[in-house]
Homo-oligomer: A and B are copies of this chain.
């Protein structure tokens, strides 16, 4: 399957932002103004399948690219701007209702996120295959973002050699089990009062990861309150492992 670029935009900092399509998979590729050799690639995904156009993901991708990384994101099957399944839409409605009513949400999260991960992983691997065929992309691969997707990707994809995860309160059972199989260096971000991610579960997940080198970095505030300096420290983490 060939990857076709459909649009491009050059930013003031020299970063090139290109939209691509790969079969049915839409993606965005951010390339730094000057590329090192080998040129590392970071796969960047937003929690629970939010779109690759989400402004916080775009800001993170552009900052990371400005530090010399090629960054890629896709809207995988059932995620982002792709059609959502009827079951997923029902689960999201159930989730809202259960949260408002203060009812348990575990099983609803399981029925929503489990299938999302199952559907998304093959497409991220397809995208990785195609991206590594691009001229100049010959470096090690990292992953950044959505915890559940990242766990499955990292345990099935030996080309991923370092990962940064965010928020691990609700992770499907299958990925909580797989966490023990993870051995690559990890950086795990936690927002101490994340309204949608119970703290103790995130701490238990961090404890479960099999990696010898893993760092938990926890900050005050809710889900979207991660301080700006964490992005710089994340770039430092990838610098230690991908460069």
Contact = CB atoms under 8 A, between A and B. Distances in A.
A59 B160 CA distance: 34
A227 interface: yes
A219 interface: yes
Number of copies: 2
Interface residues of A, number: 21
Contacts of A216: 192, 216-219
A236 B232 contact: yes
User: Interface centre among A207, A212, A229, A232, by most B CB within 10 Å?
Assistant: A229
Contacts of A232: 236
Given A192-B207, A213-B227, A214-B220, 12 more contacts: A192-B216, A211-B220, A213-B220, A215-B217, A215-B218, A216-B218, A216-B219, A217-B218, A218-B218, A229-B237, A233-B233, A233-B236
Interface string A46-57: 000000000000
Contacts of A240: 229
Q: Which 6 A-B pairs have the closest CB atoms?
A: A216-B218, A215-B219, A217-B217, A214-B220, A233-B233, A212-B220
